């Protein structure tokens, strides 16, 4: 493990002062990115209920298909519909683990599923959950061979006491395949029996930034973890925000998701920069 030695990482996990831990993560984040903080506005669509056209208030940087497809055919149909809806906007969707399950665990069938979705118009596989894939590196290579981008490593559920294992695995996957843009270390699913605390989450963000030195950005999900935790995460190591709503709504400019995310980033003494699903910068 580079970045931190095993002993240093364990000491960081045992450090009682969250301020000390967070300061180290923030120092590394600023060394890499300065105050720049990227975010992406996402229009989430369910595979079975896609709208016929983008709402006038929708300004997405990506159109993302969510949910677990029940068949390859339904997934293809959803991708085609999303492609028609998105136009030139990047179309992202699904989890590599769900697609592998959809293929019945067969490598050949998995490769075929990926090729079919790429042909239907999918640009990016939205999630590569390193704790659900038996061989994350092989799955990412298969997706790339099919013409799909896989820029984000995610975590489905952090096992109790497994923070160090998770961040170490993310570093190993990047070392094996390269090309990963962001790592989102916070669990997509919280354990009912052992839910994480904000203290745990912030510590994990800082640990990820210090250990996973070969992935450029650490990401936090705005919609999943909420503005307050997301803003705090940006001060302890995270520099990219996922899941900002693409729908402006009718509450006025100052209450729009765009102004809210910009305001929260600036309030943390950071500089917001919008990006799209291909990680192309769209402006401040």
| DSSP code, position 5 | -
Rounded to a whole number of angstroms, the CA Rg of the chain reads: 18
The answer to which of 51-55, 221-225, 232-236, 269-273 has the lowest mean pLDDT is 51-55
pTM of the model: 0.92
Average pLDDT value over all residues in the chain: 90
Q: What is the SS3 assignment for 148? A: coil
CB 9 within 8 A of CB 207: yes
**Residue 214: predicted pLDDT:** 96
Q: How many CA atoms lie within 13 A of 222 on its CB side?
A: 20
Q: What is the CATH number of the domain that holds 248?
A: 3.20.20.70
CB 108 within 8 A of CB 142: no
Residue 205 resides in a domain = yes
Read off the pLDDT of each residue in 123-133 and give the average, rounded to a whole number: 97
Strand bridging mode 36-46 / 271-275: parallel
Q: Which residues contact 7 (CB under 8 A, 6 or more apart)?
A: none
Read off the pLDDT of each residue in 100-107 and give the average, rounded to a whole number: 92
Residue 137 resides in a domain = no
The boundaries of the domain holding residue 223 are 1-41+151-274
Residue 243 resides in a domain = yes
Backbone angles phi, psi at 234, to 5 degrees: -70, -15
List, for residues 154-187, the tens digit of each pLDDT value: 999 887 778 899 999 999 999 999 999 999 999 9
Say how many domains are in the chain. 1
Read off the pLDDT of each residue in 54-63 and give the average, rounded to a whole number: 87
d(C-alpha 131, C-alpha 165), whole Å: 10
d(C-alpha 212, C-alpha 32), whole Å: 13
Cα separations in angstroms, 215 against 133, 153, 163, 168, 210: 19, 10, 17, 12, 10
- Confidence band of 56 (pLDDT split at 50, 70, 90): confident
List, for residues 235-276, the tens digit of each pLDDT value: 999 999 999 999 876 444 556 889 999 999 999 999 999 999
Residue 256 resides in a domain = yes
**Residue 43: predicted pLDDT:** 94
List, for residues 4-50, the tens digit of each pLDDT value: 777 888 888 888 788 888 999 999 999 999 999 999 999 999 876 77
**Residue 218: predicted pLDDT:** 98
d(C-alpha 171, C-alpha 168), whole Å: 5
| DSSP code, position 122 | -
CB 110 within 8 A of CB 98: no
| pLDDT at residue 127 tops 50 | yes
**Residue 216: predicted pLDDT:** 97
d(C-alpha 87, C-alpha 90), whole Å: 8
| pLDDT at residue 77 tops 60 | yes
Categorise residue 104: left if φ over 0, alpha if ψ from -120 to 50, beta otherwise. left
**Residue 1: predicted pLDDT:** 45
Residue 5 resides in a domain = yes
Give percent of the chain with pLDDT exceeding 90: 69
For the CA atoms of 250, 255, 260, 266, the dihedral, rounded to the nearest 10 degrees, stands at 140
Residue of higher predicted confidence among 3 and 126: 126
């Amino acid at each position: 493990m580079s970045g931190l030695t095993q002993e240093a990482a364990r000491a960081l996990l045992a450090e009682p002062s969250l301020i000390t831990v967070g300061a180290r993560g923030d120092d590394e984040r600023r060394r890499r990115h300065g105050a720049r903080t990227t975010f992406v506005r996402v229009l989430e669509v369910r595979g079975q209920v896609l709208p016929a056209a983008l709402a006038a208030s929708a300004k997405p940087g990506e159109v993302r298909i969510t949910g677990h497809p029940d068949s390859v055919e339904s997934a293809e149909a959803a991708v085609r519909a999303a492609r028609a809806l998105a136009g030139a906007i990047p179309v992202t969707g699904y989890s590599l683990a769900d697609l592998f399950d959809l293929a019945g665990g067969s490598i050949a069938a998995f490769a075929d599923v990926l090729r079919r979705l790429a042909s239907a118009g999918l640009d990016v596989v939205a999630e590569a959950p390193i704790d659900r894939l038996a061989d994350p590196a092989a799955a990412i290579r298969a997706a790339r061979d099919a013409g799909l981008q896989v820029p984000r490593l995610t975590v489905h559920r952090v096992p109790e006491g497994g923070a160090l294992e998770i961040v170490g695995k993310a570093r190993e996957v990047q070392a094996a395949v390269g090309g990963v843009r962001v790592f989102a270390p916070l669990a997509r699913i919280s354990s009912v029996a052992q839910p994480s605390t904000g203290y745990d989450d912030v510590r994990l963000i800082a640990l990820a930034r210090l250990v996973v030195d070969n992935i450029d950005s650490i990401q936090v999900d705005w919609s999943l973890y909420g503005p307050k935790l997301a803003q705090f995460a940006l001060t302890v190591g995270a520099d990219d925000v996922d899941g900002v709503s693409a729908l402006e709504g009718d509450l006025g400019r100052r209450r729009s998701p765009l102004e809210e995310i910009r305001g929260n980033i600036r309030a943390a003494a950071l500089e917001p920069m919008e990006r799209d699903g291909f990680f192309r910068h769209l402006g401040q």
